[in-house]
Amino acid sequence: MGASSNITEDLIEGCIGPGGGRLDKTLAEASGLSRERVKALLGDGRVTLDGKSATQASLKVSEGTPFTIRVPAAVPAEAVAQDIPLNVVFEDEYLIVIDKPAGLVVHPAAGNLDGTLVNALLHHCRGQLSGIGGVARPGIVHRIDKDTSGLLVVAKTDRAHEGLAAQFADHSIERAYKAIVGGHPLPITGTVTGAIGRSSSNRKKMAIVEEGRGKHAVTHYRTIERLRNAALVECRLETGRTHQVRVHMSSIGHPLLGDPVYGRTPSALRPILQRLQFSRQALHAAELGFIHPVKKEKVHFVSPVPADMAALIDELQN
């Protein structure tokens, strides 16, 4: 098939060529990008069809349908090692568990080309990280948001990477987050189920979407403590989707305090957050458990809430 396309600095526009067909295949043929690259751009919400966001690679599209692909700025082919302090919770020759501070980006991307966890790991591990994640994401099996703190496991060998990835895929990894949410959830314990995908109105946001368009997601929450106009909750993930806790808690009317994307902090609490200079989502990856991918032993790690969240909890207890 063919397509007419106009390639600018970071925009590919055109029309689906003769015959149409599966979206990822037709876009690859029309744009000159690889099929895997197209799938990644679909997943990042960077593709529109006839002006509407498209994320499903298997979608059938018709000949002549106009498309736009927004291609992000290129990042360096290989991250550089940087001497950035790390809080290492566990390390052996196969993997390393890090307690990440809020504010640290996990891997290089446009806008954050250095100063990331990957840059720090390349220095700490002297380049000995699994290559499965590619040169920009060596060893990265999963990630947590820049402004979320807590536990993260990184693979140092391909064998460890494959074993960990399999556990993430079958949802056998144990993950628990501590979050401070607005209001008091009722019931005090519950389960939120809702597929998560790119928002059709804002490609930078995730949203609960109809089943089949996004990825199935399940969050089990329980209230640990009622606070003033807020609550400390534990969220255990049955699945691990982008922004899952933030999207799910917001969907039931209890967004995370300080979250600039998915919620509004109750007006009574805004002066407190301003006084404490608390300017991130109140979310901490507190527990991480899995079967060691090589030694086959059960390992489990716990991280206490960091000082900024502890101070906010203390303030809201009084």
Residue that the structure tokens 């060691």 belong to: 292
The answer to whether the beta carbons of residues 106 and 49 sit under 8 Å apart is: no
Q: Tokens in use for 157?
A: 């060998």
Which is the catalytic residue, given 24, 145, 147, 259? 145
Alpha-carbon dihedral sign for residues 85, 86, 92, 95: negative
Tokens of 128: 């000995």
Q: Indicate if 145 belongs to the active site.
A: yes
Q: What is the dihedral of CA 288, 293, 296, 297, to 10 degrees?
A: -20
Contacts of 122 (CB under 8 A, 6+ apart): 79, 80, 81, 82, 129, 138
Please write down the long-range contacts of 205-208, taking CB distance under 8 Å and 24 or more positions apart: 205/243, 205/261, 205/262, 206/241, 206/242, 206/243, 206/246, 206/247, 207/247, 208/247, 208/248, 208/251
H/E segment holding residue 176: strand 174-182
Alpha helices in 133-243 (DSSP H): 158-169
Phi, psi of 147 (to 5 degrees): -95, 15
Q: What is the chain's length?
A: 318
3-state secondary structure of 141: coil
Q: How far is CA 100 from the centre of its chain?
A: 14
Residues with a catalytic annotation lie at 145
